[in-house]
Structure 1
C-alpha cells in the first residue's frame, strides 16, 4: 500500500523580538528570546526521529521582512541537518517574510524548495515510486488580500495531493485577513491534505480531508497559550492519520485560584505554590499568569500584600535560577464584594443609571482608540477579540463597583 509521512509546521517567526518582555530576569528573557530557534531545532529533531519523507512549512519562516543573517544561517543549518538524512523541505513565505522584502539572503541547501510568487506545483517522489504533488505560493508582498485559493488547481497523475496556504479562514479569525478562503473552497480542490499557516492556534477545520492549522511552534506572548508544536501526517490509500508533537521551549499559561477559603496570607501563598508546582514542566520554562478570585474584602492584610506586589516578588524569587522555571508573569486579584443590584437600585437612582449604561456600553473600541493611535503603543498591541472586549468591560464594572462600595 502506498503511503507517505511528513511534518507540517508554520509560523516559525524566527528571531521574534519578544516585545515588551525585557523586564524579565536576564536569564529568562534570553531563554525566551532563543525559544524560536530552540523550537526549530526541536522540529528538526522530530522530523528525523519520526523518519518523515519531507517537511512542509506553511509561511512566516521569519518574524520580519528584514530577516537577520543569524536567523537565516540558523535555518539553513537546520535544513542541512535534514538534507543529511535525505529529508526534503517545501516552504512558502507569508505576510511577515514576503518575497518582495529588500534584504540580504542566504541560499538554502538543495533539499529545500521555496514556492515562487505564483501558485505552482512541486513534486516529491519516494524511493518506492510514490508521487506527491504539492501546491503553494509565497507572498509577493506583505498585504495579499486577493482570493488566491481560486488559483489552486489539482493536476492529476500523483498518488497524493498536498496544498500549502498561508491565509485567513473567513468568519472566525482575528488575524490579518490575508489570502482569505472558505472551507468549501479547500475541500472542492479534492486534495488529500491542506497544510495551513497564519493562525497561531492549533485547529482542524476539517478531518475529511484534513485541513489543519498547526499553530506556531513557540508561543511568543500571553495570547499564545499552552502547548505549541507541529503535526506528523501520514497519508495512505486507506486514509489519513495526524498526530501532534510538542516543540516549544517556553510555554505561556494562565490559571485561576479560588481564595474563598484562604483566611490568611500564608494560606493564599501556599495555594500559589501548589499551582506553580503543578505547572512545572521538566526541561521547559513556563510563564504563568495567575488570577486570585474571591479574596474577602475584610482580609485587608492579604489584599494589601497582593496589591503591593509583595506576593508576586515572593513567588518570583525562587524561580530566577531554575532551569525548569515557572515564572509568574502577572498576578491579579478580585475582591469578593457582594453586589445586589436590585438593592443598590432601591438605594439610589444613580445605580440604576449606572447599570443601564454598563449593559448598553459598546464603545470600547472608541475608548481605546487614543492608545491604538499612539505611534509607540500600537507596535505592542494586537487586535482585540470579542471575548477580550467583554472581559475588559467586566473588569471595568468590577473595579468601579469596588471603589464605589468601599466609599
Structure 2
C-alpha cells in the first residue's frame, strides 16, 4: 500500500461563545470572538503545509441552535482553500449540528463529502486513480441519538486501509451526553484500522494499536472545564499500514484552572507574589497565546480571614486584571474563588464524637459509593435540557470540590467566633 497522511479533528463549535467572560476587557473581545475561527484556520494551514491527503471532521462542526451563517461561511472558505490544494474533506454531523438541521442544504465545494444519516456509507480516497484508504461514516439526524451506531460499521477486508468516522460516547463517559453510545469492543470488532471519533472534548487515545482509536478533543477551549492544550491529530500511515498519530495544538486562547494554597501566606502581598510566579510559568507554557485563568484559593491559614471580608475578592480580581490582563500575551482572570478555611485541627475534630466530628465525617468522600450517591442525587438537574446545554454533567473532581467547599463553609458556621 501507499504511505499517506491525514488530519483528524472534531468539535470545532465554530462561532460558539466563550462562557463566563461577560466582563472581559473590550480589547480582548475581538480575540475571543475570533478564537474558534482562527483555530480552524490553523487546521487548514496544517493540512496545506504538511500536504496531507485528506481531512476528517467527526461532528459538532458548529452549533445548529445558534443558526450562525458566519460559522458556515467561514467553514466553506476553509474548505475552498483545501480544494485549491486538491485536499478532500470527509465529515459527519453530531448532536450539536444534526444533518437535518437548518444548515442541511448549505452548499459545499466539490472536495467535501458529508455522510448521510440513513446508514453507514463508505467513500474511497483516491490518489492518481488508486485507492489509498476507505472512509466509513454516518451522521446524526437528530440531537439525541441513542442507538449504538458503531455496531453498523463493518470494514471490507479488501480495502487498503479502513477508517471509521463517528460522533459517539465510548464507554458512557459521564462528563458528556450519552449520544450514540458504544463500547470499546464494538469499535475493535468493526474491522477498521483507525477510528476518527468526536464528541469528547479532551484529546485522548483510547487504543494505541490496530485499530487505533482517538478522540482529538476540540481545537479551542471555550470555558474553564476545557483547560490545557487543544488541537487536532496529524496521522502518518507508512507503506506497511502502521499509523503514527501526532497531537498538534492549534488553540488561540488557552484556559487554566489554577489552585493555590494559602498555607504559609501571611498577607495579600504574599498571595500576589505567589500568583505572579504562576503567571510567569503559565506564560511560558502557553507559548505566546493569550490565557484565561480561574483562580481558586484553597487550604487553611490566617489569610482566610481577609479573603472572606466583604469586597475583598472583587478588589483582588480588579487588581490582577489590571496587572496581567492586557497585551498580546494577556492573562485574563475570569474569576477568583475562595475555598479556604480557618486554621483548625481537622484530624482532631474528625475523631470527636460530637456534631463537628459527625459533620466532618459526612462531608468526606472516602469511597466510590459515596460519590455515586451524590451523583445520583444531582443527576435529574443535569438531565434537564435547560441546564445540560450550558453546564454538562459534573466530573468526579467537581463533585469532590463542591463537597469540600461545603465542608469549609459548614465549619466556619459551626465553630464559635465566626466573623
Q: Same fold (TM over 0.5)?
A: yes
The offset of 1:390, in angstroms, is: 1.9
Kindly report which structure 2 residues correspond to 1:3-402, keeping only aligned pairs within 5 A, or say none: 3-103=3-103, 105-117=105-117, 118-127=119-128, 129-209=130-210, 210-238=212-240, 239-280=242-283, 281-294=286-299, 296-297=301-302, 300-301=305-306, 304=309, 307-333=312-338, 334-343=340-349, 346=352, 349-358=354-363, 364=374, 380-402=390-412
Structure 2: unaligned runs, 5 residues or longer: none
In structure 2, the CA distance between the partners of 1:28 and 1:295, relative to structure 1 (3 Å rule), is farther
In structure 2, the CA distance between the partners of 1:264 and 1:349, relative to structure 1 (3 Å rule), is closer
Three-state SS of the structure 1 residue aligned to 2:294 is: strand
In structure 2, the CA distance between the partners of 1:232 and 1:149, relative to structure 1 (3 Å rule), is same
The RMSD of aligned alpha carbons is: 2.7
The offset of 1:387, in angstroms, is: 2.5
In structure 2, the CA distance between the partners of 1:192 and 1:364, relative to structure 1 (3 Å rule), is closer
The offset of 1:302, in angstroms, is: 6.5
Whole-Å separation in 1 of the counterparts to 2:84 and 2:175: 40
Moved more, 67-76 or 259-268: 259-268
Contact 1:263 1:299 in 2 (8 A): no
The offset of 1:43, in angstroms, is: 0.6
Three-state SS of the structure 2 residue aligned to 1:380 is: coil
Any idea what the Cα deviations from partners look like across 1:138-164, whole Å, max 9, x if unmatched? 111111111111211212432111110
In structure 2, the CA distance between the partners of 1:305 and 1:243, relative to structure 1 (3 Å rule), is farther
Three-state SS of the structure 2 residue aligned to 1:37 is: helix
In structure 2, the CA distance between the partners of 1:402 and 1:307, relative to structure 1 (3 Å rule), is farther
Whole-Å separation in 2 of the counterparts to 1:342 and 1:262: 23
How many pairs are equivalent? 406
Any idea what the Cα deviations from partners look like across 1:82-129, whole Å, max 9, x if unmatched? 111111110001111111113474311111111111210001012383
**How does the TM-score come out when normalised to structure 2?**
0.88
In structure 2, the CA distance between the partners of 1:337 and 1:5, relative to structure 1 (3 Å rule), is same
Contact 2:53 2:88 in 1 (8 A): yes
The offset of 1:319, in angstroms, is: 3.5
Contact 1:14 1:62 in 2 (8 A): yes
Contact 1:295 1:303 in 2 (8 A): no
Contact 2:364 2:403 in 1 (8 A): no
In structure 2, the CA distance between the partners of 1:132 and 1:44, relative to structure 1 (3 Å rule), is same
Whole-Å separation in 2 of the counterparts to 1:191 and 1:75: 28
Whole-Å separation in 1 of the counterparts to 2:251 and 2:55: 18
Whole-Å separation in 2 of the counterparts to 1:193 and 1:368: 37
Whole-Å separation in 1 of the counterparts to 2:162 and 2:227: 32
Whole-Å separation in 2 of the counterparts to 1:82 and 1:4: 16
Whole-Å separation in 2 of the counterparts to 1:39 and 1:182: 30
In structure 2, the CA distance between the partners of 1:378 and 1:141, relative to structure 1 (3 Å rule), is closer
In structure 2, the CA distance between the partners of 1:21 and 1:367, relative to structure 1 (3 Å rule), is farther
The offset of 1:130, in angstroms, is: 4.5
Contact 1:305 1:311 in 2 (8 A): no
Whole-Å separation in 2 of the counterparts to 1:258 and 1:132: 52
Whole-Å separation in 2 of the counterparts to 1:76 and 1:295: 53
Structure 1: unaligned runs, 5 residues or longer: none
The offset of 1:81, in angstroms, is: 0.6
Contact 1:20 1:380 in 2 (8 A): no
Moved more, 54-63 or 332-341: 332-341
Three-state SS of the structure 2 residue aligned to 1:204 is: strand
Contact 1:230 1:245 in 2 (8 A): yes
Moved more, 62-71 or 105-114: 62-71
The offset of 1:394, in angstroms, is: 1.4
